[in-house]
Chains A and B, each alone.
Chain A
């Protein structure tokens, strides 16, 4: 089966611009997660979707970040307006069940650079 895919692989934007990251989970996976790794730091949880519903967005840094999952398929993460501290690698993951025993399958990540 196809894995989790993310687009773009790399984005360079200027401070104040808008960027939209996309994640396509593995087909049939109801659970979708976004994580972020700022350079030199650990990977941190941003939010969790079950189908189209946000179950937990406690990790979202602020209201400049907006995540959506229309129709419970792919998800987008929009940053508007982008700030320098938003630079990092944004990972998406998916799985069938949200219990701790379900492995999360990760995408390759989108490297966002804000200049």
Chain B
């Protein structure tokens, strides 16, 4: 069975600091990967996705993620965070084309 693991439960950092959230998956076939974000009081929304091609994926709000097949990883990065990036971040892998399998989530708190 596929599983997704996120390395950090809670990350606290200051504005302008760089952010990297780890995500590892276990799956042997073709992989599609997503990062979702849930801002306080808002819906889960898609941040970025990888299907194929360039392993470095750009998403909304300055986020990017790199798919490293040899490491089974899809880490999320942002060079300089803002207070508004405070949110919970979820890595996800679709199973059987539609079931999203989520990691446990990482809460990011950005201090002004």
A residues contacting B by CB (< 8 A) are 3-4, 31, 33, 35, 41-45, 48, 55-56, 59, 91, 93, 98-101, 103-109
Considering only residues 13-50 of chain B, those with a C-beta below 8 Å from chain A are 32, 36, 42-46, 49
Does B82 sit at the interface, judged by CB under 8 A?
no
Does B94 sit at the interface, judged by CB under 8 A?
yes
In the complex, the answer to whether B43 meets A3 with C-beta atoms within 8 Å is yes
Q: Which residues of A contact B43 (CB under 8 A)?
A: 3-4, 105-109
In the complex, the answer to whether A35 meets B100 with C-beta atoms within 8 Å is yes
Can you pick out 14 interface pairs between chain A and chain B where the beta carbons lie within 8 Å of each other?
A3-B43, A31-B98, A41-B104, A42-B4, A43-B100, A43-B102, A44-B102, A56-B96, A56-B99, A99-B98, A100-B97, A101-B32, A101-B51, A108-B42
Question: Known interface pairs A3-B43, A91-B44. Does A104 touch B102 (Cβ–Cβ under 8 Å)?
Answer: no
Q: Which residues of A contact B51 (CB under 8 A)?
A: 100-101
Q: How many A-B residue pairs have CB under 8 A?
A: 53
Distance, CA A48 to CA B44, complexed state (A):
18
Contacting A45 at CB < 8 Å: which of B36, B42, B99? B99
With both beta carbons as reference points, the residue of chain B lying nearest to A99 in the complex is identified as B97
With both beta carbons as reference points, the residue of chain A lying nearest to B46 in the complex is identified as A103
With both beta carbons as reference points, the residue of chain B lying nearest to A4 in the complex is identified as B43
Does B90 sit at the interface, judged by CB under 8 A?
yes
Distance, CA A41 to CA B105, complexed state (A):
8
Q: Which residues of A contact B46 (CB under 8 A)?
A: 103
Q: Which residues of A contact B42 (CB under 8 A)?
A: 108
In the complex, the answer to whether A98 meets B104 with C-beta atoms within 8 Å is no
Write the nearest CB–CB distance from B74 to chain A, whole angstroms.
14
Distance, CA A91 to CA B44, complexed state (A):
9
Write the nearest CB–CB distance from A56 to chain B, whole angstroms.
7
Contact with A along B81-97 (1 / 0, CB 8 A): 00000000010001011
In the complex, the answer to whether B45 meets A106 with C-beta atoms within 8 Å is yes
Question: Known interface pairs A100-B32, A103-B49. Does A45 touch B100 (Cβ–Cβ under 8 Å)?
Answer: yes
Q: Which residues of B contact A99 (CB under 8 A)?
A: 97-98
Q: Which residues of A contact B101 (CB under 8 A)?
A: 45
